[in-house]
Structure 1
């Protein structure tokens, strides 16, 4: 691990609003704040909103600034990225924002039934070859339903046509109510509040004229969800380190598009 990463982890250990739980604190057991985030962490009864896969945390912090009457928690395993949002919110003394460094697969160790009001998924990896790893797959929706309040909303922002199409198909296959659906968020007649907070990746994709898709749907109380039986064309590009490989037809050496 690089020296810079170690310094960031050590600095975040001193942030009162950052949880870096040890593996044995959450593996097959409940974390000590489960069911107590309102009383013991935030000290109020305001609605609780999660951003899963928060990356640098800029969206979590942006939402916290915009909606002081709600509490926000960003979740990601990459602590070195999360440091940016954790540091910014600490310096601004934002009292309605927190961060958890953990694997999303362990999220049920942190939150109790009916404890969370909304979930944001901002630019998750579409996992085009691995259904079980998609954050909008029925596997993960089942995890969310264990702590999301009945009628709780899930927000998806993505550059990926595959991710967007797959998630819509999941909604259709399970009769999940769709509240908002924009195939080109920043060029459609969408509310400003959905446009003005942008992640690092969102700005980079927009700079290369990649449309941003947004889908908001309601997850009902727990019930058996079915995967859609549909063949979805894969995106014509994929992440490649700090760049993106863009494919044209059957080119063997696709050009790089510097997006990520």
Structure 2
């Protein structure tokens, strides 16, 4: 990959961030507004009950994770565990991840994004993460050399994601088989215990990568600056 990589936009319709309203009870953690300690900022999309998030921040005190979960009952369980652990480098957010990221996250500010065992959307493949126009916006929030980690137990989902990463999004990527003793999420524990193969795709954003949203930012009221 070389500098000034531009996507072939004609292959996908454009995401329209200006049409999204902020989530209900929208909040932005202080780490997103003013990162005084200059900690690497990470996102987790679809944190569930927080098993990965809570374990990750305990093992990585030098990084700050914002973990987003939309489903109320899962988030409530996550929030209780977050309060008990009281980790200063974790913020648990109850919101739709797409709307929250659009209104909260600045361009080129995130070091790593976790998407662990997303809904495979087998009956609606347009909603798979790398098939969505939003994925271009998500990449605009990532720093140069930042990483997106996608994990799934659905091989066809992984096959499509790896193909899209290479052919559409032009991201250097590597595919791995998840070790059988890995326990990052409740889903991962369950799938591996059943003898299923789980797959991980690591995608890197090259230096000079360009999107249509590199200079787009909303303020906290959802108004484009």
TM-score band, normalised by shorter chain:
0.7 to 0.9
Alignment pair present for 1:214 and 2:200? yes
User: Which whole-Å CA distance do the structure 1 matches of 2:47 and 2:150 have between them?
Assistant: 12
How far did 1:147 drift?
Answer: 1.4
Partner residue in 2 for 1:185: 178
Q: Which segments of structure 1 move beyond 4 Å, counting only runs of 4 or more?
A: none
Structure 1 match to 2:151:
157
Give the secondary structure class of the aligned counterpart of 1:26. coil
- Structure 1 residue aligned with 2:42, among 9, 29, 49? 49
Which structure: larger Rg?
1
Flag structure 2 segments of 5+ consecutive residues without an equivalent.
1-19, 213-225
Give the unaligned 5+ runs of structure 1.
1-23, 188-194, 225-260
Indicate conservation of the 8 Å contact 1:153/1:218, yes or no: yes
Write the deviation string for residues 56-103 of structure 1: whole angstroms up to 9, x where unpaired: 111111111111100001112113102233222221221000111111
Aligned equivalent of 1:92: 85
Name the residue aligned to 2:114. Answer: 120
Q: How many residues align?
A: 188
- Determine helix, strand or coil for the equivalent of 1:146: helix
User: Do the aligned partners of 1:181 and 1:214 also contact (CA within 8 Å) in 2?
Assistant: yes
Does residue 1:82 correspond to 2:75, yes or no?
Answer: yes
1:71 maps to 64
**What do you get for the CA RMSD once the two structures are aligned?**
2.5
Question: What residue in structure 2 maps to residue 59 of structure 1?
Answer: 52
Inter-partner Cα distance in structure 1 for 2:63 and 2:28: 18
Q: Distance in 1 between matches of 2:211 and 2:33?
A: 29
The answer to whether the 8 A contact 2:183-2:189 is kept is: no
| Structure having greater relative contact order (Cα 8 Å, sep ≥ 6) | 2
